[in-house]
Amino acid sequence: MAHIQVLEGVPGIRSLVLFRPETGKPLYDLAQVLLRGESPLSEAERELIAAYVSHRNECMFCMSSHAAAARCLYGDQKNTVDEVLADMQQSHINDKLKALLHIAGKVQILGSEVTPEDIVTARNLGATDREIHDTVLIAATFCMFNRYVDGLASLTPTEPEVYAEMGERMAKGYSLPQP
Given this model, what pLDDT does residue 145 score?
97
Per this entry, what is the length of the chain? 179
Task: Report the C-alpha gap between 119 and 127 in whole angstroms.
Answer: 9
Cα angle vertex 42, ends 35, 97, to 5°?
105
Mean pLDDT (whole number) for 35-43:
98
Where does 22-170 sit in CATH, by number?
Answer: 1.20.1290.10
Given this model, what pLDDT does residue 155 score?
85
Enumerate the H helices of the chain as residue ranges.
12-19, 21-36, 43-56, 60-74, 79-87, 95-109, 116-124, 129-151, 160-170
- Plot region of 126 (φ>0 → left; ψ -120 to 50 → alpha; else → beta): left
Q: Assign 3-class secondary structure to 23-35.
A: HHHHHHHHHHHHH
Mean pLDDT (whole number) for 14-37:
95
User: Which one, of 7, 42, 11, 31, lies nearest residue 176 by Cα?
Assistant: 31
What's the pLDDT band for 7 if we cut at 50, 70, 90?
confident
Q: For residue range 99-155, what is the model confidence (pLDDT) as tens digits?
A: 999 999 999 999 999 999 999 999 999 999 999 999 999 999 999 999 999 999 888
Mean pLDDT (whole number) for 14-42:
95
Confidence check: pLDDT of 178 > 80:
no
Mean pLDDT (whole number) for 3-30:
92
Confidence check: pLDDT of 9 > 90:
no
Given this model, what pLDDT does residue 73 score?
98
Confidence check: pLDDT of 53 > 70:
yes
Mean pLDDT (whole number) for 4-13:
88
Confidence check: pLDDT of 179 > 70:
no
Confidence check: pLDDT of 159 > 90:
yes
Percent of the chain clearing pLDDT 90 (strictly above): 89
Give domain limits for the chain. 22-170
